[in-house]
Structure 1
Amino acid sequence: MTEPIAPAKKPFLYVVVCASGIAGDVGTLIAAAQECHWDVGVVATPQGLGFLDVEAVEAQTGYPIRSAWRKPGDPRPLPPADAITVAPATFNTINKWAAGISDTLALGILCEAYGMGIPIAVLPYLNAAQAAHPAYRQSLERLTEMGVRLGSYEPHRPKADGGAQRFRWTEALDLLEPEVVGRANA
């Protein structure tokens, strides 16, 4: 008699969500990732949490949204990440992350992921005035040096509608695919 074959474990994707007007559309990325056979958990920045429909996101993923550190001895609500995407990634989060600042759970996870070799894709979403700041360019350079894969969104005009229609949520999956496929075949 042959032993039953256990179903293959799906890779686990952390989606880090920042405080942005388009954050409420993160379900688009979650659905696309699930269609590509990812399990998904959401980690929100403390301010980003207010931009999400928490109940809807938790129902879609089957996991609680993480936003705060857990206490010692508390169970881990999410499995370890096989990959991470930051979408939408704000000016603030990108600059703090590149500088190694770990003052929120989301930033702590991102800072630690580099040392653990976890593939990361980032989809910046900010206006052109913020993007013109020298710190932003330096932060993108540092993240690129760290192996982070950057999305192609072009910053929108300040005080404009924000270019939400141009934001390509699923680009994160395209950016991660070569890395994840390479790890699976290793």
Structure 2
Amino acid sequence: MSSRALFVVVCGAPLASRLSDGVRVVREWGWTPYVIPTDAAMPWLVEQDLGDVPVIVGNRKPHEPRRTPAADAVVVVPATFHTLNAWATGNAYSYPLTTLCAALGAGTPTVAVPYVSRELTGHPAWASSLAVLGRAGVRVLDPGSGSVASVEPLQPGTGSHVVVGFRWEWVLKQLELRE
């Protein structure tokens, strides 16, 4: 069992259907995963076999102990337009967003994989949110190519190809570069 805790924040988009693959790869690379889904991600997780991986939902109640160790790293796969913009502006109104904002504030190594349409990336908030996160040290990875040099919006009709071609190893390699 690894002592490296990896928080895997999952948003509601088709790339969430690959979470069980991610859990397997994360473990193979020596990480202990903790899944933190947004409400919109929950339907994507229903049929997936995550084994004994803790799925952390909702805020803990007063006087409850922490449910996770401190994160050694955080990944957001997929990161939706909504979550990425809320995170960049510090809106910590849900447990996944609180987790992301705390990681940013603590300087925890973080990788985000946006899964966002061309129309949404044309919104003015998109570029500024990517810039804020980039300046804060978040590595933003293109889901179609694994590149951190640029992130291309999803073109209509290409989502299923992106989901099939995505490699969790791309995310973990970016974390290794931060160690």
Task: Report if TM-score (shorter chain) is over 0.5.
Answer: yes
CA contact (8 A) 1:63 1:78 kept: no
Specify the alignment match of 1:122 in structure 2.
112
For residues 167 and 128 of structure 1, do their structure 2 counterparts lie closer, same or farther at Cα, with a shift above 3 Å needed? farther
Where do 1:30-179 residues align within 5 Å? Answer: 30-53=23-46, 56-57=49-50, 59=51, 62-153=52-143, 154-158=152-156, 160-162=157-159, 163-179=162-178
Seen in structure 2, the aligned counterparts of structure 1 residues 54 and 164 have a Cα distance that, compared at 3 Å, is: closer
Q: Which amino acid aligns with 2:142?
A: S
In structure 2, stretches of 5+ residues that fail to align are 144-151
Identity over aligned pairs, percent: 35
Bigger Rg, structure 1 or 2 = 1
| Equivalent of residue 14 in structure 1, options 7, 17, 41 | 7
Q: TM-score when scaled to structure 1? A: 0.84
> Contact conserved, 2:11 with 2:40, CA < 8 A, in 1?
yes
CA separation in 1, counterparts of 2:73 and 2:119? 30
Aligned residue pairs, count: 169
1:29–1:63 distance in 2 versus 1, CA, 3 Å: closer
Give the Å deviation of 1:55: 6.8
Q: Give 5+ residue unaligned stretches, structure 1.
A: 1-6, 181-186
Report the AA paired with residue 67 of structure 2.
Answer: P
- Measure the CA separation in 2 of the matches of 1:140 and 1:109: 18
| 3-state SS, counterpart of residue 56 of structure 1 | coil
Partner Cα separation in structure 1 for residue 93 and residue 14 of structure 2: 22
CA RMSD, aligned part only? 1.7
- In structure 2, what residue type is equivalent to 1:178? L
Q: Which amino acid aligns with 1:170?
A: E
User: Are the aligned partners of 2:84 and 2:129 in contact in 1 as well (CA < 8 Å)?
Assistant: yes
Counterpart-to-counterpart distance in 1, 2:47 and 2:53: 11
